[in-house]
Amino acid sequence: MMNENCIFCKIAQGSLPAQIAWSDDHFLAFHDIHPKAPLHVLVIPKMHISQLSDLTAQDSTWLGEYMLAINKAAKRLNLNHYKVQFNNGIESGQEIFHLHAHLLQYLA
Ligand code: 5GP
Ligand code: ZN
């Protein structure tokens, strides 16, 4: 499902450009437009989910695949040491309400 007002849905669809790092049928990794670390990639499910706290037991079927997608994106980028961060809610700093993992490497 796609949210037509969501910029990450547009990136997932290919209608908004991004620097793609890795993708498969269900997940996409692309470089953050305003990197907060020497390497800063966002890993998203292609289907629209606003935020982590919207996940339910039904999502447990694909969440393991999401973890593996983060791992695959990191491997594609030759990263071994990195941080993974999810912001949840405006007061956490979440600006884009399409679930995304920040994949951050501070040592360039
Ligand atoms: P949040 O603060 O929601 O956890 O993180 C959203 C991230 O998306 C921010 O780091 C921001 O720089 C990035 N971002 C926002 N708009 C775009 C965009 O149009 N393209 C890309 N590649 N990154 C974006
Ligand atoms: Zn979306």
- Enzyme catalytic residues: 100
CA distance 108 to 104: 10
Residue 108: predicted pLDDT: 61
Q: What is the CATH number of the domain that holds 60?
A: 3.30.428.10
CA distance 12 to 75: 20
Within 6 Å (CB) of ligand 1, which residues are found? 7, 18, 30, 32-34, 42, 87, 93-96
Kindly state the tokens that stand for 81: 């040491």
Is 2 a member of any domain? no
Is 1 a member of any domain? no
Domain count, the chain: 1
Is 18 a member of any domain? yes
Is 95 a member of any domain? yes
**Domain extent for 11:** 7-105
Q: Which residues surround ligand 2, an ion (CB under 5 A)?
A: 3, 6, 8-9, 48, 98
Could you give the C-alpha distances from 18 to 12, 34, 51, 76, 91, in angstroms and in order?
Answer: 9, 12, 21, 17, 26
Report which protein residue has its CA nearest ligand 1's atom 17: 33
pLDDT in tens, 58-105: 999 999 999 999 999 999 999 999 999 999 999 999 999 999 999 999
Greatest CA span in the chain, whole angstroms? 38
Triad 104, 71, 40: Cα angle to 5°? 20
Is 75 a member of any domain? yes
Q: Indicate whether 4 pLDDT > 70.
A: yes
pTM summary value: 0.98
